[in-house]
């Protein structure tokens, strides 16, 4: 019995967004995301003390409701130029502040100034960070191999943005999993006077039943759970040891097309008929 892992409810395509620094333009961006049912992650520097940003953080729980809040370091330094102790302080203090602010467990990160190395990845892992986004794009729709070096598909200003969106929307080969990951800074839309870019994008990619609109941590957690499910030798029994439901789809014996989505609930064993 052969099965493929799918995204929740049998979907095979996903979209996630990632925006850094927690600037006041996030208000308008979140409003657009909510309008179109787009979900994303906002990486905040809790140590930046600009008065307007401090006031904005007071509304963080309500502002980012339905989205993810993640770390971006305490004060936005270039981490590769710091000592290990300073790196740990920047990440852990930011995480602690954001958890106190939101009442959520914070486990995601984006590297300030895009700077990272293998040592910093090890430090983040030891501090409970399960994924970290870099800035260099892939310009493809593939899932990451290393979630602590998670390359986005593209920046929102990339000329290829709408072509990549079209590839995601039109992709129809359900034997693959595809992900479009867009990142940026919300203040760039004011600076570049191009809010139309993100609104046109959101309108185009929204409302598709075969696309999973997810936060960064939801994708990282789901794929971790999906990789953890356990099969019997003949594939007829599937055990999910995790706390997240996982969906799989039986593979047809006649070719690459698939049928019969199966939900494997958290902590349960399912027999594939």
**Full DSSP string of 71-98:** E--SS---GGGS-HHHHHHHHHHHHHHH
What's the whole-number mean pLDDT along residues 112-135? Answer: 98
What's the whole-number mean pLDDT along residues 233-259? Answer: 81
Q: Is the pLDDT of residue 53 over 70?
A: no
> How many Cα atoms sit within 13 Å of 188 on the Cβ side?
13
Q: What is the pLDDT of residues 128-149, one digit of tens each?
A: 999 999 999 999 999 999 999 9
CB 97 within 8 A of CB 74: yes
- Whether pTM > 0.75 for this model: the answer is yes
Indicate if the alpha-carbon torsion angle 200, 204, 205, 206 is positive or negative.
positive
What's the whole-number mean pLDDT along residues 106-130? Answer: 98
pLDDT value for 256? 45
Domains of the chain: 11-223 (3.20.20.370), 229-271 (no CATH)
């Amino acid at each position: 019995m052969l099965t493929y892992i799918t995204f929740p409810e049998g979907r095979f395509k996903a979209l996630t967004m990632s925006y850094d620094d927690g600037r006041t333009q996030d208000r308008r961006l979140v409003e657009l995301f909510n309008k179109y049912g787009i979900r994303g992650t906002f990486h905040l520097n809790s140590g930046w003390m600009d008065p307007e940003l401090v006031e904005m953080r007071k509304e963080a729980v309500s502002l980012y409701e339905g989205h993810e809040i993640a770390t971006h370091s305490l004060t936005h330094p270039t981490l590769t130029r710091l000592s290990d102790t300073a790196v740990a302080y920047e990440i852990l203090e930011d995480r602690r502040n954001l958890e106190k602010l939101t009442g959520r467990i914070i486990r995601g990160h984006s590297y300030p100034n895009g700077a990272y190395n293998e040592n910093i990845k090890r430090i983040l892992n030891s501090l409970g960070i399960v994924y970290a986004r870099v800035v260099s794009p892939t310009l493809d729709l593939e899932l990451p191999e290393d979630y602590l070096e998670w390359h986005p598909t593209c920046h929102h200003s990339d000329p290829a943005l709408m072509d990549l969106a079209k590839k995601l929307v039109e992709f129809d080969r359900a034997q693959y999993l595809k992900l479009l990951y867009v990142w940026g800074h919300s203040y760039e839309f004011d600076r570049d006077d191009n809010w139309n870019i993100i609104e046109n994008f959101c309108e185009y990619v929204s409302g598709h039943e075969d696309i999973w609109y997810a936060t960064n941590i939801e994708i990282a957690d789901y794929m971790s759970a999906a990789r953890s499910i356990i099969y019997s030798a003949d594939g007829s029994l599937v055990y999910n040891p995790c706390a997240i439901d996982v969906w799989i789809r039986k593979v047809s014996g006649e070719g690459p097309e698939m049928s019969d989505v199966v939900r494997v609930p958290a902590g349960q064993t399912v027999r594939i008929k």
